[in-house]
């Protein structure tokens, strides 16, 4: 007579284990999340689409045209998505993601993606502003060519003296954001100055992070599967940040090794108050399935966000 309760208990445990497994894999136990495709219009000339952090106020990366993403939710004019390269949610303009790979079909009310409304950013701590830079031209030049991430050619240029926002340093190049699109572009470091009236380079003393020269040898590489987090404990709050009620996000770059551990963790965009150190400490404990190339594990550099929110 005790076999029936035992079977019921086994069934409940198995069901709970299945739901937990789906949650760890980043999947919804209720309904699968749909795929989306990065859509670039003709006037974009195939340039990458910018990725934003929470509230869409700070650019933290980009997506290539045609790239597949997982769509999580709609937030006003933004879509919350998960790029294939990592399992951390990002935000992108809703007009840049299509339900179909060959034509633009928006994620509207008929798409089945939940609409959670615009994000309330009133409680977020003040972010550090981007650093201004000024385009410097050599004698006889009237403009400076602008390049894509790994492109040797250029179809755009910046006028001498034009103001830009400097994001990071990349070897002998500087990643900048400039109107009208605000998308990340690259210009020679010798062409951007900290001062408008005389040349002051963006060196170590400038405070702009140096992420090293981009490795373009593997771009694009469709034979590579990006690493995925399997164990990602949240960060601890510093006492200073807790007292000041700081809510913000730290952006880190790191290398995932062939055994799924992390190394070379660097702060790309910090917030201070001791939270940068707490973010590094948390990510140092994360575990990943390593990136694969042709089925073999390889090391891979990625970026991750570490969110700090007091509830």
Contact 231, 286 (CB under 8 A): yes
- The domain locations on the chain are 1-27, 35-111, 131-206, 224-308
Q: Is the pLDDT of residue 42 over 50?
A: yes
Candidate CATH numbers 3.30.160.110, 3.30.2420.10, 3.40.640.10, 3.40.50.10860; the one for domain 224-308? 3.30.2420.10
Most confident among 55-69, 145-159, 211-225 (mean pLDDT): 55-69
Most confident among 147-151, 231-235, 247-251, 260-264 (mean pLDDT): 260-264
What is the chain's mean pLDDT, rounded?
77
CA–CA gap between residue 224 and residue 14 (Å, rounded)? 34
| pLDDT top residue among 4 and 307 | 307
CATH of domain 35-111: 2.30.30.40
**Residue 63 has what pLDDT?**
79
Average pLDDT over residues 282-286: 93
> Please, what sign has the CA dihedral across residues 11, 13, 19, 21?
negative
Task: For residue 183, count other CB atoms closer than 10 A to its CB.
Answer: 16
In this chain, the answer to whether the domains covering 35-111 and 131-206 adopt an identical fold is yes
Q: What is the pLDDT of residues 112-147, one digit of tens each?
A: 888 888 877 655 544 445 688 999 988 878 888 887
Structure pTM? 0.35
**Residue 46 has what pLDDT?**
60
Q: Is the pLDDT of residue 9 over 80?
A: no
Per-residue pLDDT band for 218 (boundaries 50, 70, 90) equals very low
Q: Does domain 131-206 have CATH number 2.30.30.40?
A: yes
Q: Is the pLDDT of residue 28 over 70?
A: no
Q: What is the pLDDT of residues 179-205, one digit of tens each?
A: 554 556 788 888 999 999 899 999 888
Helices (H) then strands (E): counts for the chain: 3, 22
């Amino acid at each position: 007579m005790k076999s029936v309760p035992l079977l019921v208990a086994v069934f409940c445990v198995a069901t709970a284990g299945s739901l937990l497994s789906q949650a760890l894999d980043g999947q919804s136990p209720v309904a699968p999340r749909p795929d989306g495709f990065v859509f670039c219009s003709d006037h974009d000339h195939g340039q990458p689409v910018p990725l934003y952090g929470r509230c869409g106020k700070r650019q933290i990366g980009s997506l290539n045209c045609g790239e597949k993403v997982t769509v999580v939710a709609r937030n006003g004019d933004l879509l919350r998505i998960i790029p294939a390269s990592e399992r951390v949610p990002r935000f992108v303009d809703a007009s840049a993601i299509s339900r179909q790979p060959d034509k633009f079909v928006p994620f509207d009310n008929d798409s089945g993606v939940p609409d959670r409304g615009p994000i309330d950013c009133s409680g977020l701590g003040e972010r550090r502003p981007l650093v201004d830079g000024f385009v410097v031209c050599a004698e006889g030049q009237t403009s400076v060519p602008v390049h894509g991430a790994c492109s040797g050619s250029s179809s755009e240029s910046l006028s001498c003296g034009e103001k830009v926002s400097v994001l990071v340093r990349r070897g002998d190049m500087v990643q900048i954001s400039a109107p009208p699109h605000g998308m990340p572009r690259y210009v020679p470091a010798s062409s951007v100055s900290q001062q408008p009236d005389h040349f002051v380079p963006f060196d170590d003393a400038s405070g702009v992070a140096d992420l090293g020269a981009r490795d373009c040898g593997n771009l694009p590489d469709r034979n590579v599967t990006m690493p995925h987090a399997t164990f990602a404990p949240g960060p601890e709050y510093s006492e200073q940040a807790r007292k000041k009620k700081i809510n913000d996000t730290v952006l880190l770059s790191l290398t995932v090794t062939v055994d799924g551990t992390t190394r070379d963790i660097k702060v790309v965009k910090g917030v201070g108050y001791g939270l940068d150190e707490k973010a590094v400490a948390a990510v140092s404990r994360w575990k990943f399935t390593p990136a694969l190339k042709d089925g073999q594990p390889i090391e891979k550099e990625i970026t991750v966000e570490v969110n700090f929110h007091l509830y």
